[in-house]
Amino acid sequence: MSAAPSPLPEDIKLRLSIRSDIGRAQSELTGLRTLILELLGEDRGEPFALACSEAVNNAILHAHRGNAALTVEVEVKASAARVDVSVCDVGPPFDLGGRIAAQADTPYAELDTDMLPESGLGLFLIKQGSDETHYERIGDRNCLVLIRYRGR
C-alpha cells in the first residue's frame, strides 16, 4: 500500500539551481524526489521523480557536458490538479519529439533496452513517467516541462 498524496491548500512553487556536476547533483535530486513523493504519493510519484531526475541528469551530461560552471534550473509548481517540473539548461537545441516518438507508446515491460541508443533509455523514462512533456527553446535555453496529474 502506498502513501496517499498530501492535500494542497494552495499552490506550491520551488526553484533550484543545480550545478552541472553529476555527483554533487544527487543530494538536490534526492530532495526533489522526496517533495514529489509527498505531493503525488508513491504510486504516481515514483515514476515521475525518476523522470525528473533523468531530465536533470540529461541536461548535466548531454547539454552541459558536465561543465560544473553551468547550472540546470529546476522549477516545481504544484496545484491541487497537477505537478509541473521545468528543467532548463543552456545547451544546444534538440528535437525532443523526434528522439522519443518511436518509444512513446511502448510499455516499459515490452521495451527492448538493448535496442535503444546509449542515451535512449533516459528519454523513454522521461516520457513514460510523465503524463505530458513539453519542450521549448527560450533564448539560449532549452526548457523541458514534465507534468504529472494528481489523483489519476
Residue 130 lies in a domain: yes
Residue 109 lies in a domain: yes
Task: Give the structural domain span for 58.
Answer: 22-149
If phi > 0 it is left, if psi is from -120 to 50 it is alpha, else beta; for residue 66 that is left
Residue 142 lies in a domain: yes
Residue 6 lies in a domain: no
The percent of residues above 90 in pLDDT, for the chain, comes to 61
CATH code assigned at 141: 3.30.565.10
With 80 as the cut, is the pLDDT of residue 27 above it?
A: yes
Instruction: Please state the pTM of the whole predicted model.
Output: 0.81
pLDDT one-digit tens code per residue, 103-141: 555 554 454 544 444 556 788 889 899 999 999 999 999
